[in-house]
Amino acid sequence: MSMIFALLAAQMSSQVTPVQPILKGTGLPPPATEEGQVLAPVTALLAGIGARDAVRIGEVMRPDATATAATENADGTRTVKHMTRAELLARFAPGAERYEEKIATPAIEIDGDIAMVWAPYTFSINGVRHHCGYDHFDLVRENGRWLVQNITWSSRTTGCEN
């Protein structure tokens, strides 16, 4: 009987993908881990959004960083907008409205000096959900520091879980 299990195990191991697919996160990684270090600039960027502080956001982005928003409007039309770093940062000028963007269950992938964070998010204005979608952060490590190279997000007002 153990020979059958050994043969099945050998056959199954030859069918396993060498790199496991991205799984949705089950919790935030400890800060001391490499995953925690990758997530740190993302967390700082989100805090900058909440503070409507373009300087704080810019501190964790590369000078040539970019952003892309893929929006699905309530009427079903879709738009894709590409932004420079300066255009993105201009969206977070001080104002009376309180912004809050929360991510959940981040998937973090790292290969050498590149990494990505993929997570569902909700965006609220003055405590009321405005839209939701998925965030995708591309990061690079330069001189031992992780920085955001690109942010891509989807945005919709329907189908939000939270």
Q: Which residue, among 134, 138, 139, 136, has the nearest Cα to 152 in the 3D structure?
A: 136
Contact 45, 61 (CB under 8 A): yes
43 has pLDDT over 60 = yes
96: CB partners within 8 A, 6+ apart: none
Domain 32-156 has CATH 3.10.450.50: yes
pTM: 0.79
Burial of 85 from C-beta contacts in 10 A (0-12 / 13-18 / 19+) = buried
Give the start-to-end residue ranges of the domains of the chain: 32-156
pLDDT in tens, 66-121: 999 999 998 999 999 999 999 999 999 999 999 999 999 999 999 999 999 999 99
